[in-house]
Each structure stands twice: as C-alpha cells, then as structure tokens.
Amino acid sequence: MNLMKRIPLFLAGMVLAIPVQGQPKVMDIKTLSVSDAITIALTNHPSLHAADAGLRSASSGVTQAASSYYPSLSATASVQRTDGAFVLNPSFPPRNQSYNTYTAGLSAQQTIFDFGKTIGHVAAANHFFDAAFSDYKVARNNVVANVELAYFTLVQSKQVVRVNEEAVESATQHLKQANAFYSVGRVTQVDVTKTEVDLANANVNLIVARNQYRVAKLQLDNAMGVTVAGEYTTQDTLGVESFAMPLDTVMSIAMHVHPEIVAAQARVEANQSLATAAWDQNLPTISAFGTWNWSNFDFPLFSRWNAGVTFSLPIFQGFAINAQVDQARATAEAAQANLDALTQSLTLEVEQSYLGIREAEERIAAATKLVQQSEENLRLSERQYAAGVGSALDVTDAQLSLSNARISRIQALYDYNSSLIHLKSDLGKLPQ
C-alpha cells in the first residue's frame, strides 16, 4: 500500500476515534431492577438536565427582580489629555495649551418607593420560579413513568417470547408424534403436513416476538438516557399492586398536586402580577441619589459631593404603557385558558387511567381462568390424538387457544401496570 492510500485510511481512523458529542452513555449491566433503571435515568436523562437549567434560570430571575430593593453603587475614573490652540478672547491671538484632567467618583442611587412596580415584578418572578420547580417535577415524573413503562414493556415482551418458545417446542413434539404415527399408518400425510405448517407458523411468531423484545430493550435504554451493552437480567413476572382509592378522591388529589396543574396556576398568578406591575408604571417613582467626585488638573485631587431626591411621574409615553398593560393582561388571560384546558385534559386522563385499572383487573381474572381452561383442553386433545380418536387439527386449535390465552393474560397484566403508572404519575406518587 502506497503512502497516498494510507493517508485517507489514517484520517478515517482519526475521525472514528473522535467522540461524538451528545451520544448516550454506554453502561455494562448484568442485572437490572425497576429501581435500578429509575436511578440510572434520574442521573443521565437529558430532559432532567434541561429542566434543572430552567430552574436555575428562574432562580436568577428572582434575584434580578429583587435587586431593585437594594441601592446601586458605581465607581468611575478617567484621565483626559487636552492639547491644542485656545481662543480666550477675540482681541488676543490664540495660544497653544496642554494639560491633563484627572477625575474619579462614586455614585449611589436608591429607589425609595415606586408604588408597587418592584413588588409586582418580584411576585411574578417568584411565581415563575414556582412554575419552573413544578416543571422540573413534571420532567422527573415523566422520566420515572417512562422508565417504568419501558421496563414493564420489556418484561411483557420477554414473557411473550417464552410463550412462543413453548409453542414452538410443542409444535416440534407434535410433528415428531405425527411422523411416528404416519410411519405405522395411524395418520395420513395430511396430518404430517398440517403439523409442519403449525411448526412454521410458531417459528414465525417467535421471530416476531424476539424482534419486539429487542425493540423493547432499545426503548428502555432510551428511557434511561443510556445505552446498555449486551444482555442483562430483568424480573420475569408482572405483579398486580392493589389500588382501592375511589375515583372522586383520586380526582381531587390530582387537581391539587399534579405538577403540571401547579405550574399552570403559578404562571397565571405570575402573569397577573406582571399585568398589575405594568399598570403601576402610570404611578410616580421616588428615589434618592448621591455622588462624590474627585477631580483636578494634577494631583492631589479635590473633592465635591451632591445628593438629592427625585420624583418622576410619566405623563405621556406615546401610549406605550397602555399597550404594555393590554399585552400583559392578554398574556394572563392566555395563561388562565391554558390552565382550564390542562384541567380538562387531566380530568380525562385520570378517568381513563382509573377505568383502565378496573377493566384490566377484570381481564386478568377472566384471562387467568381462560388459561386454566385452555391448558386442560390441550391436555384432553393431546390424549385423544395419542389414543387415535382425535385429529391433529384439534391439537393445533387447542395449542393456539392456549398461546392466545397466555398472551391475553400477559397483556392484561401489562395494561393494569401501565394504567397504574399513569395514575400514580397524576397523583405525584411515583418513586423519586
């Protein structure tokens, strides 16, 4: 390989070696529980970093608004060089003159009373901080809920894979049995072909289930904000946590503690405070000021000071204040409308999650009984087929019914846990 061919390969290797900004963190995990997944997500998920930045920004806004309560101090210093011709009197010729000017000073200003303008801005900033804090809780709750949902989706996918593996194993045994019966003349070639088709269908279903499992793993990695290298062990079952709280109690709690509602209420109050502060610009402002200066053409410098009180009242500002008031009031009305819309949306979400829990409870009971009946039906069908009084079609139907019953129960368990996670999120009772 000549030098010109080596250079592109070397550069390509350098590019591949450069780490890409924003890539998820790669972790090596052997065993992963729900609590472990939540801990990883709360540490690494980028949405929490964004929410934390928003919270710190809102905190700085409070400090900026409250700064008007304090005096402002500033210091100045300057050196000026003047050189040129000066005309002191028309009757005298100009003369050249050069000199330096040294100046230093301190100035202070303090607002004494502005008739509520500062109070309104500080109140608004505090409400915006409360909203940002609730937004952080929303982001945190969403991360936790998404991790739990993704984790249980992975468990569900693993159980479906196991059901399909059992179906493949059963179909394989049926094919062996059919071939044995065919060799002694107990069944026809049709029975053998039918069991071969059943085995092929079971393999197709297993391929699909395994792919869904791999997708579920990617979704869990995304929910945690990391990439997990290799396989890891998770829990194998979906539990049923009892939930007996009545709907009206759930709705009342959700409307008072849901962080999105709290954030929307805080924004309404913040914009109302801004509207009040905007109108307060029509009122006067009283402030005090003072300066202390040192100046001279050479050192030492000589000092002088002055102090006073100012009273300012806006008389006409080109309708700017009126426009600001209208704008602030419109923003407050929009915030109230957003709160009303969010309340309606949350009401629907809580009711849907609550009804989903109750429906899933009934489906779990019915699906559990269906699994038991399907298992018994398969045993009877296999005995009849082995005794020569049943057909391969009966065994296939029984196996398919059992697989469907098991998957239906797995889906009911997942739907129960999914609805419960959403409802806990609405109640602010997710693990933190």
* Domain ranges across the chain: 27-71+114-285+318-427
Residue 161, amino acid: V
- Stretches where the chain sits below pLDDT 50 are 1-20, 432
- Quote the pLDDT of residue 430: 60
Q: What gap in Å lies between CA 156 and CA 150, rounded to an integer?
A: 10
Q: What gap in Å lies between CA 78 and CA 102, rounded to an integer?
A: 6
Q: Are 99 and 295 in contact (CB under 8 A)?
A: no
Tokens of 27: 């972790």
- Quote the pLDDT of residue 236: 81
Residues of the chain by 3-state class (helix, strand, coil), percent to 5: 70, 15, 15
Do the strands 25-28 and 226-229 form a parallel or antiparallel pair, or are they unpaired? parallel
- 384 C-beta neighbours (distance < 10 Å), count: 15
Rounded to two decimals, what is the model's pTM? 0.82
Which superfamily does 27-71+114-285+318-427 belong to?
Outer membrane efflux proteins (OEP) (1.20.1600.10)
Chain centre to alpha carbon of residue 342: 17
Q: Are 245 and 423 in contact (CB under 8 A)?
A: no
